Structure 1
């Protein structure tokens, strides 16, 4: 009887010990995920990854982080990787894009901080003023939905078109134009082709990233967009990681004095527009 009792007691203790061990292991893994020191950045072409690598990555490295760069040919692939968890964050999309992506893909990406952004602008190799516009002038704009909407909002700001009342500006399309007093010919094309095609147009709308990569002087813009909160570029993470220590440390790095000093010494051409909480 005593022997049977001892066997039962020992077996129970072993089960309890194993459960505690597994629980501890699970807690440790959860902690490791939140407090890990090796993080992956999804990199797609554009200036915002360059800014991170030069101005933010060194700050994180001083805090003991190792940042691994995972390259993608375009932003969408980076977003998919972020959704699937093969990268931890990226720094190349505005919040309007994040919202649209989440809706389309049923994802849960979250923008955790707005970062310095290059504004879209209207440029011309033929004209020195917006007032020189004439009937039938040809205007090139980006064809991807996000940047096209920004272009239409900018053309409305210039007074050249009117967009239908009630249309969300970040979702506007050519079909939403209700007035075009100069009958300008708006031609949508791949944004990367616009800089090399500008001599064929009277005016061209350049997204900030394209303007930066083509090394076009930002001060030459005849008019620049007004950045709403949703149009600042952001750091995006999966929603489940927004409070992770590494995510919070990325926020701290962007808000640090070291980063502010970097921007002050690397913005002589006026590319970067800072959100209020980074000024």
Structure 2
């Protein structure tokens, strides 16, 4: 009897020992499962939490547009906006492509496509914005009809603005351009008709406002006119701006479907944005999408 009782005690002790040894192993397996991410409930999708944005713009009206219109409206959506100013047309796109900034506003779509292709950059426009039109200014003549033969007209020497200027002059009936000319790279060499014998003098765009007093005519891009304190409405003729010459807000193509890009687009399409444009950017030409939206309201 004692021998049987002893066997029972030994057996019970062995069972307890085996159970104790097995418990840590089960816990280890559970920990490994937790560490490996195994779970019956899938992890929630990662949200787009980018709320601090850097927007690049050339110094002048488009930096002002970001400061006075885009920044305050985006901040109402919970964003923090920093503005990075540039003084040329090369660095804003390179900075965007490298990730130094998140968006930029300074260029029209033709320039964007040409620059991106030439430099192998993957950039995409969000939407066009109201843009300061180019105009012909003169202290000597009050209208295009008054322009005398042989008059000198100063124009921008950079390819984008030069092409745009010559197309504007053609639209005004001052010159004609070869039909096979590439619209992105039109130059004086593409002018085939010049009935008034105008002397076309290319110079640096930023210097054009200074020539209004000293030259018969000056074709001044809107941003440089405004930067020099000129009144857009004082031009003897403002361009009938084509849609592809309106400035666009641009991001990297990989960000075009991001939440911040969607919020930027929504901001541009808002009534509050248009109200600021009407109050603080007089003379700016509105894009067709904005005109259409106003017509529906």
What is the TM-score when the length of structure 2 is the normalising length? 0.82
- 1:238 aligned residue (231, 242, 252): 252
For 2:32 and 2:50, how far apart are their aligned partners in 1? 31
- 1:119 aligned residue (133, 141, 165): 133
SS at match of 1:273: coil
Instruction: Answer yes or no: is the 8 Å Cα contact 1:46–1:92 preserved in 2.
Output: no
For 1:70 and 1:160, how far apart are their aligned partners in 2? 39
Matched, 1:37 2:31: no
- 1:129 aligned residue (134, 137, 143): 143
Q: CA offset at residue 38 of structure 1?
A: 0.7
Q: Which residue of 2 aligns with 1:278?
A: 290
Matched, 1:229 2:243: yes
For 1:193-272, list aligned pairs within 5 A: 193-267=207-281, 270-272=282-284
The 1:193/1:159 distance shift into structure 2, 3 A limit, reads same
Instruction: Answer yes or no: is the 8 Å Cα contact 1:156–1:163 preserved in 2.
Output: yes
Q: Deviations over 1:248-277 (max 9, x none)?
A: 10111111121122223224xx42111122
Give ranges in structure 1 of 5+ residues lacking alignment: none
SS at match of 1:170: coil
- 2:91 aligned residue (77, 80, 86): 77
For 2:270 and 2:288, how far apart are their aligned partners in 1? 14
* Structure showing greater Rg: 2
Give ranges in structure 2 of 5+ residues lacking alignment: 1-20, 292-297
SS at match of 2:196: coil
Q: CA offset at residue 11 of structure 1?
A: 8.2
Matched, 1:180 2:191: no
Q: CA offset at residue 40 of structure 1?
A: 0.9
- 1:161 aligned residue (147, 171, 175): 175
Q: CA offset at residue 48 of structure 1?
A: 1.2
Equivalent pairs counted in the alignment come to: 268
Q: Which moved more, 1:212-221 or 1:231-240?
A: 212-221
Instruction: Answer yes or no: is the 8 Å Cα contact 2:67–2:83 preserved in 1.
Output: no
SS at match of 1:169: coil
